[in-house]
A = this chain, B = another copy of it.
Amino acid sequence: MIFYFAIQTVSVASQIALEEAGADYELRRIDFKTTEQRSEEYLQINPKARVPALATDEGIITETPAILTYIAQAYPAAELAPLNDPFGFAKLQEFNNYLCSTVHVNHAHKMRGSRWVEEDDKDSQQAMTAKVPQTMTDSFNLIEKGLLAGPWVLGENFSVCDCYLFCISNWLAGDKVDINDFPRVLDHHLRMRERESVKKITAIHGI
């Protein structure tokens, strides 16, 4: 498999999951500074011009929640998801989908406001940036008070949700939110940093 990623992006979540799975994969770095994600070559991999993308023998998979559950299904021995429990699997999906459709979207309003207003409308983009600390705080209040079952996201068993939460909780400082306001999230974050998978991937990303 080939994993296409960019430094200090949501790629971190899937990369940690690949390590946790013991997967055999190659890394292919996409350079956002030269907007390589919009190159003809990369648009063949992912026409959405985003990372990550996972090239498998059968084809390419994009979207973090899809990659995470694929890894869990492709490496069942790693027990990264409750694969034989539809309700447990739904709770995993619910968590991952909250991160991708609400929390990551909140965060994206800091730097990527031009997705949703005109490129030259700097006032609106600044207004979006200004609200990010509040929206990220609201989201992490929900995670702190309920979505994070503890000690791991889904309870006693580690899962791909933990890789994803670690990745996004690492954005809080840059979003001007103090992770210390969320003691359970902080505890989770610190326990993640003790794992070999996380040490390896955070070194690659310099985070």
Contacts and interface: CB of A to CB of B under 8 A. Distances in A.
> Chain A: interface residue count, which band?
35 or more
Interface of A: 47-48, 56, 58-59, 61-67, 69-70, 73-74, 86-87, 89-91, 93-94, 97-98, 100-102, 104-106, 109, 115-118, 121, 123-124, 127-128, 130-131, 135, 142, 145-146
* Majority secondary structure, A binding face: helix
Q: Number of copies of this chain in the oligomer?
A: 2
Given A48-B102, A64-B97, A123-B124, 20 more contacts: A56-B87, A58-B87, A59-B87, A61-B90, A61-B91, A65-B65, A69-B89, A70-B89, A74-B86, A97-B97, A97-B100, A100-B101, A105-B105, A116-B116, A116-B128, A116-B131, A116-B135, A117-B124, A117-B131, A123-B123
5 contacts: A56-B87, A70-B86, A70-B93, A97-B100, A117-B128
A56 to B, nearest CB: 6
A32 B166 CA distance: 34
Contacts of A64: 97
